[in-house]
Structure 1
Amino acid sequence: MALSYTRLLCRRNLGVNGFRGFYTSKNLAVSTSNAALEKVAVHENHDEKNMRLKRPMSPHLTIYQVQITTLLSISHRATGIILSGYAATIGLSTLFMPGGMPCMIEAVHALCLPAVAIAVGKIALAFPVAFHFCNGIRHLAWDLGVFLSIKDVYTTGYAMVLAAAALSVVLAIL
């Protein structure tokens, strides 16, 4: 495959039009001269071809109603990414900061922020941990074959969000 692309790129000054062979189904390797390339019609992309042939557009995310199961699944992945960012930040800060985490905590105290701002910040930092933890327990219950009906999935979803909110407040208080 790489050899075919290399040959395609190395043929007599294909120019920008030569790159269209990468994303169209038309074979450009059959033409042997620049004059033949100039006579080739402009290639249409996939959407243009479907519109020309009057094919219906496939339904996408825009036709579906937003469901809690979808939102919780996306949120679980997002909180996992946030937690890996926490781990990287804490690890790199202990490596490169002279005083480590205690120095960072003292720097936050030196800002003299109001108590409400610190509480909101603590809850914002604790919520991804609590959400990922609670949703992980929910997934473990599913692995055991429990709460798999649609009604139970929605009930455990709402209960998990409430438990994560409560747990994040408890973690922020600590």
Structure 2
Amino acid sequence: MISQKVAQQSLRRLAVQQPYAMRWSLMNAASPAAIAIGRNIQTRYATSSTQTTDPTKLLAEQRLRRPVAPHLSIYRPQITWYGSAAHRLTGIMLSGPLYLFATAYLAAPLLGWHLESASLAAAFGALPVIAKVGIKGFFALPFTYHCLNGLRHLTWDTGRAITNKQVIQTGWTVVGLSTAAALFLALL
């Protein structure tokens, strides 16, 4: 029953999308009598190639003979490349620890860990000042860069600041502002 409905739906879609293909397939279909008598026999002709090599080996050999495009080695590195890579890396650097901490926070009661806010604040408060600044800076720089570069991308989505000159200017602006903001947050 279900297979009949699927077949009907697919035939209807074919008839609507390609009406001539439906008519052609019905005209060229063999009748049951022709099949029973043996008048509609499909034959496969021999290939014209005499090679009997494995096609996967043939493709591997062809790939070895292809020239390699110089792609990255001939272009001058630009801020857009580094900015795109840094945006992705900062997203990973921020989301990875977040998922690890969220999982640990959920498992903490089962494992007897103390990951409450008061415990974390007390542990962080007991660290030396240089360690506090280092930890905050370690998280502040990717955070500020990812946020500011995300705003840059949202600006591009509106169709603004999309010329080459503006893209380069906003790229360096994001680098400068994120560094300044990260230093501010780390020293806070």
Conservation of the 8 A alpha-carbon contact between 1:93 and 1:100: no
- TM-score when scaled to structure 1? 0.63
Normalising to structure 2: TM-score of the pair?
0.59
Gaps of 5+ in 1: 1-38
Matched with 2:156 is 142
Instruction: Output the CA distance in 2 between the equivalents of 1:56 and 1:151.
Output: 34
Counterpart Cα distance in 2 of 1:136 and 1:73: 11
Residue 156 (structure 1) aligned with residue 182 (structure 2): no
Question: Is contact 1:94-1:101 (8 Å) kept?
Answer: no
Relative distance call for 1:55 and 1:129 in structure 2 (3 A) is closer
Aligned to 2:6: none
- AA of the residue aligned to 2:166: D
Q: 1:123: which partner in 2? A: 137
**Which has the larger Rg?**
2
Is the CA contact 1:126–1:168 (under 8 Å) kept in the aligned structure 2? yes
Q: 1:162 to 1:120 in 2, by over 3 A?
A: same
Question: Which of 57, 61, 65 is 2:72 aligned to?
Answer: 61
Q: What is the root-mean-square deviation of aligned Cα atoms in Å?
A: 2.7
Aligned to 2:81: 70
Q: How does 1:1-174 map to 2 (within 5 A)?
A: 44=57, 48-51=61-64, 54-95=65-106, 96=108, 97-110=113-126, 112-113=127-128, 115-174=129-188
Following superposition, the deviation at residue 46 of structure 1 comes to 5.2
**2:67 alignment partner, SS class:** coil
91-100 vs 118-127, which moves further? 91-100
Relative to structure 1, the CA distance from residue 91 to residue 45 in structure 2 (aligned partners, 3 Å threshold; closer, same or farther) is farther
Matched positions, count: 132
